[in-house]
Amino acid sequence: MLRQRVITALILVGIMFAALAAPSPWPFALVTLGLLAAGAWEWGRLNGAAAAVSWALGALMGLAGIVAVASGLAGASPGGGWWIAVAVWALGGALVLKRGVQAWPHTPRVLRWLLGLALLMLAWAALIGARAIGINFMLSMLCVVWMADIAAYFGGKAWGRHKLAPAISPGKSWEGVWSGMAGVLVLAAVWMVLDRQFGFDGPSLYTRLVQGHGWVVTVLALLALCMLSVVGDLIESLVKRAAGAKDSSRLLPGHGGVLDRVDALLPVMPAVLALLSLTPR
């Protein structure tokens, strides 16, 4: 299993770096679109869609993304769409988690399909928008989630006593959440030092927040992003439990499915672009 995970991760990293190294931004846009279109297919399968409907959801997302790339709309800001996505994740996510696993299948299936498709599309648009700002900015955004996840794992393993959501994800603890937050704050401090030292291709998310809003707002914003990443993770766990599935699919050997890898990123990416809309340029 570990060997499979490592091989799959190395292949994905190689593809992503090759796409990022391309002179045009569109290889990266198309590679990530393919991944999230696969996520739309997985979402349909987890939410009671027939095989044809699941394929249609993936194809619809792929087609919409290709049209956006071809028309030059990819990377364009949807304005208030970022904040709509944040509201749906924060308020809708809280409601879904409060109602629990048993209530999820009673939500109309078509509503679940379309909502998932819309949120995946907004996440992809946010990723492409972040890439257009700069690779340093985009990576710093992604690393909020990756660091929160890594620090939460080790913190929860070392100190986890109080369960976060035992009926949904028994392995998660509040101590893990706090550890993830602390890890992100340390990461931000180190990254800002590197920004000043090397410049890269532009300021990171952390430097932009501090320059635009100061330290207090930056810390609060990063803590909020950490909480959103937890919401994304828990929502996917809830949907899988309702479907009786261990993984969202077996597309990524050793890792499960695409949604298993990006669940915590989905609410965070639009939220970062929403925050950026309030930050002076």
Sequence ranges of the domains in the chain: 2-276
Please indicate, yes or no, whether the overall pTM of this predicted structure exceeds 0.85: yes
pLDDT value at position 281? 63
pLDDT in the model for residue 258 = 94
What pLDDT shows up at residue 236? 97
State the pLDDT at residue 69: 83
Mapped onto helix, strand or coil, the DSSP state of residue 169 is strand
Instruction: Tell me what pLDDT residue 16 has.
Output: 87
Q: How high is the pLDDT of residue 224?
A: 97
**Which pLDDT tens digits describe the chain residue by residue (281 residues)?**
557 877 887 888 888 889 988 888 889 999 999 999 999 999 999 999 999 999 999 999 999 999 988 877 666 677 678 999 999 999 999 999 999 999 999 999 999 999 999 999 999 999 999 999 999 999 999 999 999 999 999 999 999 999 999 999 999 999 999 999 999 999 999 999 999 999 888 999 999 999 999 999 999 999 999 999 999 999 999 999 999 999 999 988 877 899 999 999 999 999 999 999 887 76
| CA–CA separation, 193 and 276 (whole Å) | 20
The confidence score (pLDDT) of residue 2 equals: 56
Q: Cα(252)–Cα(51) distance, rounded to whole angstroms? A: 19
* pLDDT value at residue 254: 78
Burial zone of 42 (CB within 10 Å; 0-12 exposed, 13-18 middle, 19+ buried): buried
H-assigned helices in the chain: 2-21, 26-46, 51-71, 81-87, 93-99, 109-133, 135-159, 174-198, 205-243, 258-262, 265-276
